[in-house]
């Protein structure tokens, strides 16, 4: 491996580490600073509909082990989960595309 490729590889690793640190910081900051934010999501709306349809239904058979400090925090965590899923799916398809191109290039050089 050439020195330039080695330096580029080290640089890209630090960019990834810095990116993850930035994501963690941006996730933790609102969790620690914003208190009592409210957000009405589909979970609450679904519970209301179930209560209207079957008033005797008891949904207390499971509890959360952690509750976010505010409702808006739940929305932020959901968006973060969606972003992580999008990155994972994008990486997977990019990996498959790169592997296909590598095989095509290898077949052309033989």
63 lies in which domain range? 34-109
CA dihedral angle for residue 77, residue 78, residue 82, residue 85, rounded to 10 degrees:
70
Entry pTM: 0.41
- Greater confidence (82 vs 1) lies with 82
Residue 93 pLDDT > 80: yes
Q: Mean of the pLDDT values across residues 22-31?
A: 88
The total of structural domains in the chain comes to 1
The CA distance from 22 to 19, in Å, is: 5
Assess if residue 9 is contained within a domain.
Answer: no
- Greater confidence (89 vs 42) lies with 89
CA 38 from centroid of its chain's CA atoms: 21
* pLDDT tens, position by position, 44-79: 788 788 889 988 887 677 777 877 787 788 888 889
**Helix 71-109 to helix 3-33 angle, to the nearest 10 degrees?**
160
Residue 98 pLDDT > 80: yes
Assess if residue 2 is contained within a domain.
Answer: no
Assess if residue 1 is contained within a domain.
Answer: no
End-to-end CA distance of the chain: 22
């Amino acid at each position: 491996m050439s020195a330039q490729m080695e330096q580029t590889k080290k640089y890209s690793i630090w960019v990834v580490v810095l990116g993850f640190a930035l994501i963690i910081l941006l996730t933790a900051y609102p969790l620690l600073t914003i208190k009592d934010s409210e957000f009405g999501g589909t979970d609450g709306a679904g519970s209301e509909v179930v209560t209207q349809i079957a008033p005797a239904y008891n949904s207390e058979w499971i509890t959360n082990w952690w509750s976010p400090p505010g409702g808006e925090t739940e929305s932020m965590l959901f968006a973060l989960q969606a972003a992580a899923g999008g990155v994972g799916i994008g990486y997977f398809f990019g990996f498959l595309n790169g592997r296909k191109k590598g095989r095509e290039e290898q077949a052309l050089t033989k």
